[in-house]
Copies of this chain bind each other. A is one copy, B any other.
Amino acid sequence: MDMIELNPSPFYKMESLSGILGVELWVKRDDLIPEFMGGNKVRKNRRILASHSFGESDSTLLVTNGGADSNHARVIAMMGAQLGCSVHLVLHGEPSLSPPTCGNAFFYRATGADVTYVEADAIRSTIDTVVERAKSEGKRVLVVPGGGHSPEGAEAYAQAVAELPFAPDWLVHASGTGGTQAGLLMGVARLGWTTKVQGVSVARTESRGREAIAALLGGEVPLEFIALTADYRFGGYGQFDSDLMAFIEDIVKLEGLPLDPVYTGKAMYGLARMVNEGRIPKGARVVFWHTGGLMNLMTSGEK
């Protein structure tokens, strides 16, 4: 892909929260990556599409899947538009009730992507149908894994670790499908750091989450290094309560940092709880890796 060079995303110390929690807390702002509305899906899909050779790009169809308000689908729709590819998104869940200028749905429409909404158990068969039809029409097809969950996606995060100017004691982030965590673990290992990479699961149980991470590590990192807590899921993917929203509001007050209730809000909540419960020791140098998901903040009120 012919894209602008990615500069390191912003990185700075959060003074107020550091003082309150009694740790040295820094934030890595991948939500502010200046392409395609930012977030970890930009890093992952950049690398996934870069590893693919597009011939006549206008005869290539990109197909991927995600939730109805998927950040990943938004990034693929925007990247496809710039490559001159057509894009077909297979989304599970209800079409957003939001107006089409609100959140990720605006970008699906603006880029001209085809969107099919299906039940979760029909994702696979729908993708197959879309792919077969396109191939019968003579198109090249690239199926991008949902969430950018793939070795290439993890590799993007392995390389992103080198943007940090120092080796923190802890690196805390929202863990969804596991690709970001696998990448961070590999990046830390390659640099020879002893940093503890602590995922906060936003959906999966600990055992299922660990399996998915392990599958992407390719033996590069010992499995006992996988640290994933499922204690701050608030019931599962997309679930949250008024406690979490109040916490998110507190962080806005203290640091002006935007968090969403689906991903980053849960991760920061988990971080604060782990510090207060002594699982992360006082005085530790902690990096909170903000993986994006701001669009979810903008539509979550409609749940």
Chain A residues with a Cβ under 8 A of chain B: 2, 4, 7, 10, 12-13, 15-16, 29, 32, 34-37, 78-79, 81-82, 98-103, 106-107, 109-112, 245, 248-249, 252-256, 258, 297-302
Contact = CB atoms under 8 A, between A and B. Distances in A.
Contacts of A37: 256, 258
A15 to B, nearest CB: 7
Given A81-B253, A81-B256, A253-B81, A101 B301 contact: yes
B35 A32 contact: no
Contacts of A253: 81-82, 110-112
A238 to B, nearest CB: 13
A200 B46 CA distance: 34
Contacts of A252: 78, 81, 107, 110-111
Nearest to A100: B301
Contact of A301 (B29, B99, B254, B300): B99
A249 B113 CA distance: 12
A8 to B, nearest CB: 10
B101 A297 contact: yes
Number of copies of this protein chain within its complex: 2
Nearest to A4: B12
Contacts of A300: 101
A191 B241 CA distance: 53
B298 A35 contact: no
A78 B256 contact: yes
A248 B4 CA distance: 21
- Max chain B C-beta neighbours (<10 A), residue from A12, A35, A99: A99
A13 B3 CA distance: 11
A54 to B, nearest CB: 16
A78 to B, nearest CB: 5
A82 B255 contact: yes
Given A29-B34, A103-B298, 9 more contacts: A4-B13, A32-B34, A81-B252, A81-B254, A99-B302, A101-B301, A106-B298, A111-B252, A112-B249
A101 B107 CA distance: 19
Nearest to A252: B110
A81 B102 CA distance: 26
Nearest to A11: B34
